[in-house]
């Protein structure tokens, strides 16, 4: 009977999202995580070493709830979407381009080896690295186990963050030093800002030392980014997209008929349906720069700042960048940074 009472009390403490963030409740929640982790093969040694060191961090919960959709009842509208142009100026700036070109040249042999093996262009690898951490200059200083445990306990995205916390324990079991597990408030870590589960799935040893070190090894970082892109479906020999011009008379209501994406629908809703390059040309939409697309290439049209501003024709590889971070502004700026880095 005592076990039953304790079990009911425990479920009350941890069962409801947004429960009172008291330390006893947090510690009780960690006991349930321990049981899940053991069932998934995490060693008791790792759990005994890490769990007693964790305390609730209200700051990461505040940051999570400040994100779009993080506050219950908050509604985003098309008019609330900011302009892309200022974002581009901040993320494809001269300093980031200059550093990217320097890395591109210094690491060219390694980049070419990875590209030959994976089909992922060197400039795309460098652009992801540059966009995520400015080529490793900042990677975050939040303690991953503490952040992920706090976010899981808060409950808004409990299943996601609990699995990422358990994945973090698995990294420690694999030999990643506990003190190295620092990163963003949301649990992304290392030069490419992988979540722990992503590391377990796609991290690669690029320098042949037997370890996939995305925290200090540039070769491992680039090989791991390429591995992610291959896993997400990157198709070799195709660009991510090209700048384009769309005429004012284009009937955008007709171009907008398309399937609803199961992932990030609001992001994909800003794209048109898929048409060939030739079909877009017949509608007055033309490529203005970049590698020449085949007439039969299927592409979508994106006008991030609306009709009359810069437009882009996007291939299926653009969706792979979106898989890395499901934001049109992010994906566009990665593509544009890659193009700039590759220029002599």
Write down the domain spans for the chain: 2-68+141-183, 241-314
Q: Average pLDDT for residues 311-318, to the nearest whole number?
A: 97
pLDDT confidence bin for 197, thresholds 50/70/90: very high
Distance CA 291, CA 242 (A): 7
pLDDT of residue 262: 73
- Which region among 75-79, 201-205, 216-220 has the lowest average model confidence (pLDDT)? 75-79
pLDDT confidence bin for 253, thresholds 50/70/90: confident
Residue scoring higher pLDDT (14 or 124):
124
State yes or no: pLDDT of 276 exceeds 70.
Answer: yes
pLDDT of residue 258: 65
SS3 (DSSP) at 189: strand
Distance CA 6, CA 305 (A): 56
Q: What is the C-alpha radius of gyration for the chain, rounded to an integer number of angstroms? A: 23
Q: Which residues contact 220 (CB under 8 A, 6 or more apart)?
A: 203, 204, 205, 206, 207, 211, 212, 213, 214
State yes or no: pLDDT of 18 exceeds 50.
Answer: no
pLDDT of residue 80: 62
Q: Average pLDDT for residues 211-219, to the nearest whole number?
A: 97
Helix, strand, coil content of the chain in percent (nearest 5): 55, 5, 40
Q: Average pLDDT for residues 136-140, to the nearest whole number?
A: 96
Q: What is the mean pLDDT of the chain?
A: 90
State yes or no: pLDDT of 133 exceeds 70.
Answer: yes
Distance CA 319, CA 298 (A): 13
State yes or no: pLDDT of 284 exceeds 70.
Answer: yes
Q: pTM score, two decimals?
A: 0.89
State yes or no: pLDDT of 36 exceeds 70.
Answer: yes
Beta strands in the chain (DSSP E): 142-143, 182-183, 241-245, 275-276, 286-287, 298-302, 311-314
């Amino acid at each position: 009977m005592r076990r039953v009472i304790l079990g009911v009390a425990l479920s009350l403490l941890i069962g409801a999202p947004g429960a009172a963030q008291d330390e006893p409740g947090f510690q009780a929640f960690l006991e349930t995580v321990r049981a899940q982790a053991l069932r998934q093969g995490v060693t008791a040694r790792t759990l005994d070493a890490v769990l007693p060191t964790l305390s609730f961090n209200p700051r990461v919960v505040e940051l999570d709830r400040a994100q779009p959709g993080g506050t219950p009842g908050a509604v985003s509208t098309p008019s609330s979407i900011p302009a892309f142009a200022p974002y581009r100026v901040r993320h494809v700036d001269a300093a980031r381009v200059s550093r990217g070109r320097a890395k591109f040249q210094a690491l060219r042999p390694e980049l070419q080896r990875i590209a030959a093996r994976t089909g992922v262009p060197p400039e795309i690898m460098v652009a992801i690295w540059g966009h995520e951490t400015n080529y490793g200059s900042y990677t975050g200083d939040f303690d991953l186990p503490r952040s992920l445990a706090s976010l899981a306990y808060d409950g808004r995205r409990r299943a996601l963050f609990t699995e990422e916390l358990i994945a973090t324990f698995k990294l420690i079991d694999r030999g990643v030093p506990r003190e190295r597990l620092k990163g963003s408030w949301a649990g992304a870590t290392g030069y490419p800002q992988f979540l722990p589960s992503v590391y377990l799935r796609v991290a690669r040893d690029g320098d042949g030392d037997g370890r996939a070190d995305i925290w200090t090894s540039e070769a491992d970082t680039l090989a791991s980014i390429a591995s992610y892109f291959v896993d997400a479906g990157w198709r070799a020999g195709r660009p991510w997209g090209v700048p384009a011009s769309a005429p004012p008379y284009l009937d955008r209501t007709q171009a907008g008929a398309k399937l609803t994406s199961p992932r990030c629908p609001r992001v994909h809703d800003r794209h048109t349906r898929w048409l060939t390059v030739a079909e877009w040309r017949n509608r007055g939409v033309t490529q203005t720069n970049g590698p020449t697309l085949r007439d039969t290439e299927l592409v979508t049209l994106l006008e991030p700042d609306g009709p009359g501003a810069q437009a882009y024709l996007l291939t299926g590889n653009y969706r792979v960048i979106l898989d890395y971070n499901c934001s049109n502004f992010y994906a566009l700026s990665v593509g544009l940074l890659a193009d700039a880095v590759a220029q002599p």
